[in-house]
Structure formats: C-alpha cells, structure tokens
Structure 1
Amino acid sequence: MKLFSKVFLRILKSKNLGILQDHRNIEIGNNFKFGDFCNFIFHSELKTVRFNNKINFRNYINLLVGKQAELIIGNGVFFNNYCSINCLEKIEIGDETLFGEGVKLYDHNHQYSTNSDFTIEHQKFNTAPIKIGKNCWLGSNVTVLKGVTIGDNVIVGAGVLVYKDIPANSIVKLKQQVDIGSSNITR
C-alpha cells in the first residue's frame, strides 16, 4: 500500500508541475517546493504568476488565479498546511513572509444588491488588490480580504480577520476575553 501511495503522490505532483511549467505567463524561481495534495488552478488567460526563489508550499495548498489576474510571491516565502489563495485581480507577497496553517487570501467578494429582493451574484465579483509586505508572519487561520495592504515587519495573530490596512512594524492580535467561573457541579 505504501508503494501505491508514493506512486499516486508522484503522479499528482507531476501533474501540478506540468501545469506550472507549461503556462507561458508563469515564472518559477530556484528551490520551489510543494508538498502533497496541492491544488493549482490557473486560468489560461491569467496575467502573471511569479514564484521567486526558495518558496515552500507545505501540504493541501489551494491556489486559484483567474483571468487577467496577477499573483507575485517574493523570495523565501513559506506556506504551512491548508493555506488558500484566491486571486481574481492581484495579490503580492513580500520576501521572507511566513503563513501559518489555514491562512486564506481573497482579493474579491461576490457582488450583491441590498434592495428588497436581496440578491447575491454567484459569478460576479468586486475585486481589489492585496499587498503583504516583507518579513511578515500571518498566524494560523488568518483571513485577509480584498483591498488590504499589510506593511513590512508585521505579525498577525491566529484567527484574525484582516479587512483594513495594517501599517509596517505592527502586531495585530484577536482581542478575546475568556471568563472561567466556578460551578456547583460535584461528583
């Protein structure tokens, strides 16, 4: 069974590598690594995908780059397991940035109307670029929404929803309060 698993994983990896190498608008630097079960969906008319040097995608990474969209990833960027990038306009990530498990980047959202027959459009989107600076660390389960710029040297703590710009040299954390009280339960 182990031999079958290894062969199957090799086939999946070679399929993804073929997609990356065959597209004329995709540039791949040196030491590009990706783990098991990575899913790359690239529109045939994308504008640019640039993976600079020493990029490491762990396992279960999902990348979607749409028509006329740009995805630029700097040198030495690391994505932990289960990260997802959904790019319909432009996402740019600076050098030496780290992504914890489950980080999600969305440069778009669905269009909707707020009139009396509230409608959400399934195939129409509002977009705005995302820019993440150099030497940043986005902790596990961070979500970054469209139009956000994160400056250089920023730490974003686990579970934060980033919907507005974060200046350089900042630390952002989710402010929660956990109250633990005593109970009358005895056994």
Structure 2
Amino acid sequence: MINLIYKALNIIPKAIAKIEKLYSYSILNSHSGVRLHPDLKIGKSTTFELDDDAKFEIGKNVIWRDHNAIRIRKGGTLIFGDNVDLSHYISINCLDKIELGDDTCIAEGCKFYDHDHAFDTKPEYIWHKTKFNTAPIIIGKNVKIYSNVTVLKGVTIGDNCIIGANCVISRNVPPNSIIFGKHELMRLPLM
C-alpha cells in the first residue's frame, strides 16, 4: 500500500511538468510572431512573456532546459540560430534585438539585457520606470558562455569565443577571443 502511494505521489510532479511543457508549446504556437522548428526541446518551468508585436525565431536542434525566463516586449526580436543549447535558470529580456548564433552554448544562470532604464542626473537624479535605452545584442557562431555571465545592451560577441564564468560583458568581444573576469570592486561617482 505504501509503495502504491509513493508511486502515485511521484507521478504528480511528472504530470505537472508535462502540462507545463504543453502550455509552453501552446504559447509559442499560438503567437503570430513566433517561428519555431518542430524539433524544439523545452525544459520544464520555462516562462514566456511575449507582447503582441514580439518576434521570436527558433532554429533547428534548439534545446533549452529547465527554469528559464524569456521576455520579448515593445516589438523586440529574439533569434536563436541552429543548435543553440540553453542550460538552466537563464533570463533573456528583449526590448530591441537579441540574436544567438548557430552552435552557441549558454550555461546556467546567464542573463541577457538589451536595454536599461533611462535616467536623468540634472537637476536631480531621476530613474525612469517606463523609459528605456536599448541597443541590440549579437552573439556570433560557436560561442560558449559559461555560468552566471551577464551580457548588456549594445554588445557584439564575435564567432568562436569563450566567455568565462561570472563575467559582465558590456563591450564588444572580437572573434576568436577568450574572456575571463578579474573580479575587483570599483567605485565611481554617480554625478
């Protein structure tokens, strides 16, 4: 009897995961701006927030694993090339354009922001909650981005690059580069 209860309790999370996957596919398939390849593999607990004017193109053999969040707002365009591999807990926030080239691999915990909040410093510091500065992010082909990397607006990472764990990428990276962080705290004046 206990084994039967144990088996029944193990079925519930699996059933929920299947329902979540079906829901994710239904969101993507019902959106007019989404073009996806039929062999797409989506992990469990992936969330999508797509505005009506969002565009999302997904190439062949794209895999993304569990607990990822994808937001495409204000007419943004998100493009995944062929053979893109997204690990767990990745956040992609797109208001302009983010493109991941063919054969790109993104490790756990990475974040992509093609925008930041606008702010003024004169006559006083004001942070705008609904105004944004945007610039596209372009990731080349055959790029490996390791855990907990943050890629900020306006960045182009060239083909055949490796980005080491915990880096914040705020400038362009030329092709065939290896980037790793030298972690130091810096203090700059706000005004």
Runs of 4+ in 1 over 4 A off after TM superposition: none
State whether structure 2 residue 134 is matched by structure 1 residue 141. Answer: no
Q: Which residue of 2 aligns with 1:37?
A: 45
Q: Which residue of 2 aligns with 1:170?
A: 177
Gaps of 5+ in 1: 178-187
> Aligned partners of 1:136, 1:30: CA distance in 2, in Å?
24
**What's the TM-score once normalised by structure 2's chain length?**
0.89
State whether structure 2 residue 128 is matched by structure 1 residue 121. Answer: yes
Map 1:63-102 → 2, pairs under 5 A? 63-102=70-109
Map 1:20-31 → 2, pairs under 5 A? 20-31=28-39
| DSSP 3-state at the match of 1:86 | strand
Q: How many residues in Structure 1 have an aligned counterpart in Structure 2?
A: 176
Gaps of 5+ in 2: 1-8, 185-191
Identity, in percent, stands at 39
- 8 Å contact 1:30–1:52 — kept in the other structure? no
> Aligned partners of 2:43, 2:139: CA distance in 1, in Å?
23
> Aligned partners of 2:108, 2:43: CA distance in 1, in Å?
14
> Aligned partners of 2:38, 2:162: CA distance in 1, in Å?
27
- Describe the superposition over 1:124-152 as per-residue Cα deviations: whole angstroms up to 9, x where unpaired: 11000000000000010000000000000
Residue 30 of structure 1: how far off its partner (Å): 3.5
2:138 pairs with 123, 128, 131, which one?
131
1:57 pairs with 64, 69, 75, which one?
64
> Aligned partners of 2:53, 2:80: CA distance in 1, in Å?
19
- Describe the superposition over 1:154-187 as per-residue Cα deviations: whole angstroms up to 9, x where unpaired: 000000000000000000001248xxxxxxxxxx
> Aligned partners of 2:183, 2:93: CA distance in 1, in Å?
28
Residue 53 of structure 1: how far off its partner (Å): 0.4
> Aligned partners of 1:173, 1:30: CA distance in 2, in Å?
36
Q: CA-atom RMSD, angstroms?
A: 1.1
Q: Which residue of 2 aligns with 1:157?
A: 164
1:19 pairs with 3, 8, 27, which one?
27
- Describe the superposition over 1:60-100 as per-residue Cα deviations: whole angstroms up to 9, x where unpaired: 11000012111110000001110110000000110000001
**What's the TM-score once normalised by structure 1's chain length?**
0.91
| DSSP 3-state at the match of 2:98 | strand
Provide closer, same or farther for how the CA distance between residues 8 and 75 of structure 1 changes in structure 2, counting only shifts above 3 A: same
